[in-house]
Chain A
Protein backbone atom coordinates (compact mmCIF):
# COMPACT_ATOMS: atom_id res chain seq x y z
CA UNK A 1 0.00 0.00 0.00
CA UNK A 2 1.07 3.56 -0.67
CA UNK A 3 0.46 6.07 2.06
CA UNK A 4 0.83 9.67 0.89
CA UNK A 5 -0.03 13.06 2.35
CA UNK A 6 -2.86 15.03 0.73
CA UNK A 7 -0.50 17.93 0.00
CA UNK A 8 1.85 15.70 -2.04
CA UNK A 9 -1.07 14.09 -3.89
CA UNK A 10 -2.33 17.56 -4.79
CA UNK A 11 1.11 18.66 -6.03
CA UNK A 12 1.34 15.68 -8.40
CA UNK A 13 -2.13 16.39 -9.77
CA UNK A 14 -1.34 20.11 -10.18
CA UNK A 15 1.90 19.31 -12.03
CA UNK A 16 0.12 16.87 -14.35
CA UNK A 17 -2.64 19.41 -15.04
CA UNK A 18 -0.15 22.23 -15.67
CA UNK A 19 1.81 20.21 -18.26
CA UNK A 20 -1.22 18.68 -19.97
CA UNK A 21 -1.34 17.68 -22.87
CA UNK A 22 2.34 16.75 -22.42
CA UNK A 23 3.22 14.07 -19.91
CA UNK A 24 4.54 15.31 -16.55
CA UNK A 25 6.98 13.41 -14.35
CA UNK A 26 8.82 13.60 -11.07
CA UNK A 27 9.96 12.00 -7.86
CA UNK A 28 9.06 12.11 -4.20
CA UNK A 29 12.08 11.37 -2.06
CA UNK A 30 11.91 9.96 1.45
CA UNK A 31 14.31 8.73 4.11
CA UNK A 32 16.00 5.50 2.98
CA UNK A 33 14.11 2.46 4.21
CA UNK A 34 11.15 4.48 5.52
CA UNK A 35 8.75 3.97 2.59
CA UNK A 36 7.53 7.49 3.42
CA UNK A 37 7.27 9.99 0.54
CA UNK A 38 8.26 13.44 1.83
CA UNK A 39 10.20 15.68 -0.54
CA UNK A 40 8.43 16.64 -3.78
CA UNK A 41 10.75 17.00 -6.78
CA UNK A 42 9.04 17.83 -10.09
CA UNK A 43 11.29 16.88 -13.02
CA UNK A 44 11.53 18.16 -16.55
CA UNK A 45 10.10 15.89 -19.20
CA UNK A 46 13.05 16.05 -21.59
CA UNK A 47 10.85 14.50 -24.31
CA UNK A 48 8.18 17.26 -23.94
CA UNK A 49 5.70 14.87 -25.50
CA UNK A 50 2.05 13.87 -25.03
CA UNK A 51 3.00 10.17 -25.40
CA UNK A 52 6.45 9.85 -23.84
CA UNK A 53 8.40 11.07 -20.86
CA UNK A 54 12.01 10.88 -19.87
CA UNK A 55 13.99 12.50 -17.12
CA UNK A 56 16.71 14.84 -18.31
CA UNK A 57 19.82 12.76 -17.56
CA UNK A 58 21.84 15.64 -16.06
CA UNK A 59 18.97 16.74 -13.83
CA UNK A 60 18.47 13.14 -12.75
CA UNK A 61 22.14 12.81 -11.85
CA UNK A 62 21.96 15.90 -9.61
CA UNK A 63 18.72 14.81 -7.96
CA UNK A 64 19.94 11.23 -7.33
CA UNK A 65 23.23 12.58 -5.96
CA UNK A 66 21.38 14.90 -3.61
CA UNK A 67 19.15 12.05 -2.41
CA UNK A 68 22.25 9.96 -1.77
CA UNK A 69 23.86 12.75 0.26
CA UNK A 70 20.69 13.16 2.34
CA UNK A 71 20.33 9.40 2.82
CA UNK A 72 17.08 9.41 0.87
CA UNK A 73 15.71 7.24 -1.89
CA UNK A 74 13.09 7.69 -4.60
CA UNK A 75 10.01 6.46 -2.70
CA UNK A 76 7.65 7.57 -5.48
CA UNK A 77 8.23 8.00 -9.20
CA UNK A 78 5.24 9.59 -10.88
CA UNK A 79 4.18 10.45 -14.40
CA UNK A 80 0.99 11.29 -16.22
CA UNK A 81 -0.84 9.80 -19.16
CA UNK A 82 -2.78 12.50 -20.91
CA UNK A 83 -5.11 10.55 -23.22
CA UNK A 84 -5.23 7.03 -21.78
CA UNK A 85 -5.89 5.38 -18.44
CA UNK A 86 -3.56 5.55 -15.46
CA UNK A 87 -2.09 2.10 -16.03
CA UNK A 88 1.56 1.31 -16.88
CA UNK A 89 2.19 0.93 -20.60
CA UNK A 90 4.60 -1.61 -22.05
CA UNK A 91 7.20 1.15 -22.31
CA UNK A 92 6.67 2.10 -18.66
CA UNK A 93 7.23 -1.52 -17.65
CA UNK A 94 10.34 -2.03 -19.75
CA UNK A 95 11.98 1.07 -18.26
CA UNK A 96 10.92 0.57 -14.64
CA UNK A 97 14.31 0.41 -12.91
CA UNK A 98 13.58 1.21 -9.27
CA UNK A 99 12.21 -1.98 -7.72
CA UNK A 100 11.73 -0.27 -4.36
CA UNK A 101 9.66 2.62 -5.71
CA UNK A 102 5.92 3.17 -5.87
CA UNK A 103 5.09 4.06 -9.48
CA UNK A 104 2.25 6.56 -9.43
CA UNK A 105 0.33 7.12 -12.63
CA UNK A 106 -2.19 9.85 -13.06
CA UNK A 107 -4.44 10.38 -16.04
CA UNK A 108 -5.55 13.82 -17.11
CA UNK A 109 -7.69 12.53 -20.01
CA UNK A 110 -10.94 13.70 -18.35
CA UNK A 111 -11.12 17.40 -17.61
CA UNK A 112 -12.93 17.29 -14.29
CA UNK A 113 -11.29 14.39 -12.50
CA UNK A 114 -7.76 13.02 -12.35
CA UNK A 115 -7.22 9.27 -11.98
CA UNK A 116 -4.52 8.60 -9.39
CA UNK A 117 -3.20 5.04 -9.05
CA UNK A 118 -0.10 3.37 -7.69
CA UNK A 119 1.86 0.28 -8.75
CA UNK A 120 4.90 -1.80 -7.95
CA UNK A 121 6.82 -2.80 -11.04
CA UNK A 122 9.41 -5.51 -10.41
CA UNK A 123 11.05 -7.69 -13.08
CA UNK A 124 8.37 -6.76 -15.59
CA UNK A 125 5.47 -7.67 -13.27
CA UNK A 126 2.93 -4.97 -12.43
CA UNK A 127 1.01 -5.04 -9.16
CA UNK A 128 -1.52 -2.34 -8.40
CA UNK A 129 -1.71 -1.30 -4.76
CA UNK A 130 -4.20 0.67 -2.69
CA UNK A 131 -3.50 4.36 -2.08
CA UNK A 132 -4.17 5.88 1.31
CA UNK A 133 -4.26 9.66 1.36
CA UNK A 134 -3.51 11.02 4.81
Chain B
Protein backbone atom coordinates (compact mmCIF):
# COMPACT_ATOMS: atom_id res chain seq x y z
CA UNK B 1 0.00 0.00 0.00
CA UNK B 2 1.06 3.54 -0.63
CA UNK B 3 -0.46 6.98 -0.84
CA UNK B 4 -1.84 7.91 -4.21
CA UNK B 5 -1.22 11.47 -5.39
CA UNK B 6 -3.28 12.87 -8.27
CA UNK B 7 -1.44 15.39 -10.39
CA UNK B 8 -3.14 18.16 -12.42
CA UNK B 9 -2.34 18.66 -16.12
CA UNK B 10 -0.12 21.67 -15.48
CA UNK B 11 2.25 19.68 -13.24
CA UNK B 12 2.43 16.51 -15.32
CA UNK B 13 5.59 17.76 -16.98
CA UNK B 14 7.25 16.68 -13.71
CA UNK B 15 5.74 13.19 -13.74
CA UNK B 16 6.42 12.24 -17.34
CA UNK B 17 2.75 12.83 -18.13
CA UNK B 18 1.43 10.55 -15.37
CA UNK B 19 -1.95 11.53 -13.87
CA UNK B 20 -1.07 9.93 -10.59
CA UNK B 21 2.01 8.90 -8.69
CA UNK B 22 2.56 7.05 -5.44
CA UNK B 23 4.47 8.07 -2.40
CA UNK B 24 5.02 7.52 1.29
CA UNK B 25 5.30 9.57 4.44
CA UNK B 26 3.56 10.20 7.73
CA UNK B 27 2.67 13.84 6.99
CA UNK B 28 1.77 15.67 3.81
CA UNK B 29 5.12 17.47 3.97
CA UNK B 30 7.01 14.16 4.08
CA UNK B 31 4.91 12.76 1.27
CA UNK B 32 5.74 15.77 -0.93
CA UNK B 33 9.46 15.38 -0.16
CA UNK B 34 9.22 11.71 -1.03
CA UNK B 35 7.60 12.26 -4.43
CA UNK B 36 9.93 15.17 -5.15
CA UNK B 37 12.80 12.68 -4.78
CA UNK B 38 11.52 10.86 -7.87
CA UNK B 39 9.92 13.81 -9.67
CA UNK B 40 12.41 16.55 -9.14
CA UNK B 41 10.95 20.06 -9.16
CA UNK B 42 7.43 19.00 -8.24
CA UNK B 43 7.92 19.83 -4.57
CA UNK B 44 8.91 23.38 -5.37
CA UNK B 45 5.68 23.89 -7.31
CA UNK B 46 3.67 22.89 -4.25
CA UNK B 47 5.63 24.34 -1.34
CA UNK B 48 7.33 27.69 -0.76
CA UNK B 49 8.64 29.24 2.45
CA UNK B 50 7.57 26.24 4.50
CA UNK B 51 3.92 26.36 3.44
CA UNK B 52 1.70 25.34 0.56
CA UNK B 53 1.71 27.72 -2.37
CA UNK B 54 -1.50 29.71 -2.81
CA UNK B 55 -1.69 28.72 -6.49
CA UNK B 56 -2.51 25.13 -5.63
CA UNK B 57 -5.21 23.39 -3.66
CA UNK B 58 -4.25 20.13 -2.01
CA UNK B 59 -6.89 17.74 -0.74
CA UNK B 60 -6.54 14.74 1.55
CA UNK B 61 -9.25 12.37 0.36
CA UNK B 62 -11.92 15.03 -0.17
CA UNK B 63 -10.86 17.74 2.29
CA UNK B 64 -8.77 20.81 1.63
CA UNK B 65 -5.63 20.34 3.75
CA UNK B 66 -5.66 24.06 4.61
CA UNK B 67 -8.53 23.17 6.94
CA UNK B 68 -6.70 20.13 8.32
CA UNK B 69 -3.12 20.98 9.16
CA UNK B 70 -1.38 22.07 5.97
CA UNK B 71 1.96 20.33 5.54
CA UNK B 72 1.63 18.84 9.04
CA UNK B 73 -1.54 16.96 8.09
CA UNK B 74 -1.08 13.26 8.95
CA UNK B 75 -1.35 10.89 5.98
CA UNK B 76 -1.38 7.12 5.80
CA UNK B 77 -1.31 4.24 3.34
CA UNK B 78 -4.51 4.04 1.36
CA UNK B 79 -5.13 7.81 1.41
CA UNK B 80 -5.58 9.76 -1.78
CA UNK B 81 -4.06 13.21 -2.12
CA UNK B 82 -5.39 15.37 -4.96
CA UNK B 83 -3.63 18.46 -6.26
CA UNK B 84 -5.66 21.00 -8.26
CA UNK B 85 -4.66 24.41 -9.58
CA UNK B 86 -6.42 27.08 -7.49
CA UNK B 87 -8.76 29.01 -9.77
CA UNK B 88 -8.64 32.66 -8.85
CA UNK B 89 -7.80 36.11 -10.14
CA UNK B 90 -9.37 39.48 -10.49
CA UNK B 91 -8.79 43.08 -11.30
CA UNK B 92 -6.53 43.86 -8.36
A interface, CB within 8 angstroms of B: 23, 25, 43, 47, 49-55, 57-58, 60-62, 64-65, 77, 79, 81-84, 88-89, 91-100
Given A97-B55, A98-B9, A99-B9, A60 contacting B91 (CB threshold 8 A): no
**Chain A residues, CB < 8 A from B10:** 97-99
B90 at interface (Cβ–Cβ under 8 A)?
yes
**Chain A residues, CB < 8 A from B92:** 51-52, 89, 91
Query: In the complex, what's the smallest C-beta–C-beta distance from A63 to chain B, in angstroms?
Result: 10
- Within 8 Å by CB of A61, from B55, B56, B57, B89, lies B57
CA distance A92 to B88 in the complex (A): 7
Stretch at the interface among B21-29, B31-39, B69-77, B79-87: B79-87
How many A-B pairs have beta carbons closer than 8 Å: the answer is 89
Query: In the complex, what's the smallest C-beta–C-beta distance from B3 to chain A, in angstroms?
Result: 17
Main secondary structure on A side of the interface with B: mixed
List the 4 shortest-distance A-B pairs measured between CB atoms, nearest first: A97-B85, A92-B89, A52-B90, A54-B88
Q: A49-B90, A95-B55 are in contact. List 12 more A-B contacts (CB 8 A).
A: A43-B87, A51-B91, A52-B91, A52-B92, A61-B62, A61-B64, A62-B62, A81-B90, A89-B90, A95-B86, A97-B10, A97-B85
